[in-house]
Structure 1
Amino acid sequence: MTGRDGGADIGPLGDFDPVVILVRPQLAENIGTTARAMANGGLFHLRIVAPRDGWPQERAWYASSGADRILDAAQVFETVDDAVADLHRIFATCPRPRHVVKPVMTARGAAAELRVASTRGLRTGILFGPERAGLDNEDMARADTLVRYPLNPKFMSLNLAQAVLIMAYEWFLTEDMTPPRELMTNETHVATKGEMENFMSHLIRDLDETNFLRNEQKRPGMVRNLRHFFTRGEVTEQELRTLHGVVSELSSARRNRS
């Protein structure tokens, strides 16, 4: 089975990128939305263990929002053992405390380990359990490491695709170079200190002409306050041009009234 329109051109398919393994998923729609979540985070290898309603299922493709190629290439296995047989390291998501002695990591920590394993040429997989109850102890016994998400302890309820999306997002961040903070300036630019000083001189000159700064004792502090106000953020050159126009217009209006 293939997607109705072929789906989005997603990839590349790294040989050592983590494999998402859905264990006994119950609904086709959840498999489809899982593929959608995977594509968002750059994970493209999907394995399905004993899907309740069999495979393939047309509804999964309809729910994938174009992540068809992930579903087209999905592999189906009868058991978890079969699904992980060719992998070197297995992580298992574990939403509830279990009586299991294993390392437990956050999604961020697990993603970092997955990235290291990938660079070493190790094949890895992440187990996600059935929608209703999650992985059982037998499933987790196949894993080297458990993954638990630090969520609101009073409400830790994720659907399958959400759980996969968290891991996919953290995986993507391990190589993403997007700065944590940036200013969208469009066609202008952040004002230089020279441009800012030019505006401040304009403003102070006009304020002196209006006698707003007539108190000689308070004048230095008032000027500093104005300078702090305008230099507190990243004012753009376009915004400074607008402010120049405002100051000039106010001055012109004042002179016309005189």
Structure 2
Amino acid sequence: MVDHPYIVLVRPQMGQNIGAAARAMLNFGLTRMRIVDPRDGWPNQSAVAMASGAGRVLDDAQIAPDVAGALGDCAFVFATTARSRDLTKDIYSPEEAMRLAVQKIDAGQKVAVMFGPERAGLENEDLVQANALISVPVNPDYASLNLAQCVLLVGYEWMRQRSHVTPVVHEMAGSDWAEVQEVDHLMRHYEDRLEDAGFFWPEHKSASMKLNLRNMWSRMPMTRADVQMFHGILRQMVRWKERDR
């Protein structure tokens, strides 16, 4: 069973764009490329040079004389386009399209995504051979996407749907998050030294100033290394002040 979509480049005009598309594909684990009637013939050395490490995608690429030949064994086909061309078809965002692609591929179907030539995109004769369209939300005043950029966007959404993507990774750099008691000790250290320095003035505002200061410390997500650094800063400032007396 093919476990990811076929990427079908229809009448691509520049070998460099084919190579860049191969790089974009391999970035997101897509390795099955089909090329329909490439303008400059095949194989193409410009494509190989641009692929830069993704040559195996080009080595395995299948060449077809027409769109029907490239899509013949597929059960569901998406076509990327900036406009619907007055055709009655469902238009998906890249995210929803790849969510549907996952479902169909997991059910044993072959899925393809078509991308049009650089100059004007897919023609109506191409689009009618697709089951649905993919439209990328872009600036309406400049909707043209580079071929490889469009492949990259679809590949990214494929990876997001197929793999678990961790939204945020906290790199601790060898430290751990500070415990509540460690932050509390830091609060007291600053309160005591600021009290000595006469910071909490006037007296009737002292309690609210201390409360605000403690609230500030508790809002800060600090590591143990951060806490130690803040202790060290204050100690050094106190030593420096005492040397000047």
TM (norm. structure 1) is: 0.89
Aligned to 1:65, which of 34, 52, 65? Answer: 52
Residue 109 (structure 2) pairs with residue 122 (structure 1): yes
**What residue ranges of structure 2 are gaps of 5+ in the alignment?**
none
Taking the aligned partners of 1:95 and 1:242, their CA distance within structure 2 comes to: 53
Return the offset for 1:177. 2.8
Residue 153 (structure 2) pairs with residue 153 (structure 1): no
- Give the AA of the match of 2:49: Y
1:95-244 paired onto structure 2 within 5 Å: 95-244=82-231
- Give the AA of the match of 2:29: G
**What residue ranges of structure 1 are gaps of 5+ in the alignment?**
1-13
Aligned to 1:46, which of 33, 50, 55? Answer: 33
Aligned length: 245
- The aligned counterpart of 1:3 is none
- The aligned counterpart of 1:5 is none
- Give the AA of the match of 1:140: L
Is the contact between residue 16 and residue 122 of structure 1 (CA under 8 Å) also seen in structure 2? no
Return the offset for 1:214. 4.7
Equivalent position SS for 1:217: helix
Residue 30 (structure 2) pairs with residue 56 (structure 1): no
The Cα offsets for residues 139-183 of structure 1, whole Å up to 9 and x where unpaired, read as: 111111100001111111211100110100111111343332333
- Give the AA of the match of 1:168: G
Taking the aligned partners of 2:214 and 2:170, their CA distance within structure 1 comes to: 21
Equivalent position SS for 1:126: strand
Return the offset for 1:198. 1.6
Deviates more, 1:92-101 or 1:124-133: 92-101
Equivalent position SS for 1:174: helix
1:233 and 1:158, CA in 2 relative to 1: closer, same or farther beyond 3 A? farther
- The aligned counterpart of 2:15 is 28
- The aligned counterpart of 1:252 is 239
The Cα offsets for residues 72-110 of structure 1, whole Å up to 9 and x where unpaired, read as: 100011111111111111000011231100000111111
Taking the aligned partners of 2:170 and 2:23, their CA distance within structure 1 comes to: 29
Taking the aligned partners of 2:47 and 2:215, their CA distance within structure 1 comes to: 56
Taking the aligned partners of 1:153 and 1:189, their CA distance within structure 2 comes to: 47
- Give the AA of the match of 1:198: H
Return the offset for 1:130. 0.7
Taking the aligned partners of 1:36 and 1:111, their CA distance within structure 2 comes to: 19
TM (norm. structure 2) is: 0.94
Residue 63 (structure 2) pairs with residue 76 (structure 1): yes
The Cα offsets for residues 18-76 of structure 1, whole Å up to 9 and x where unpaired, read as: 00000111111110000001111221110001111211111111001110110010001
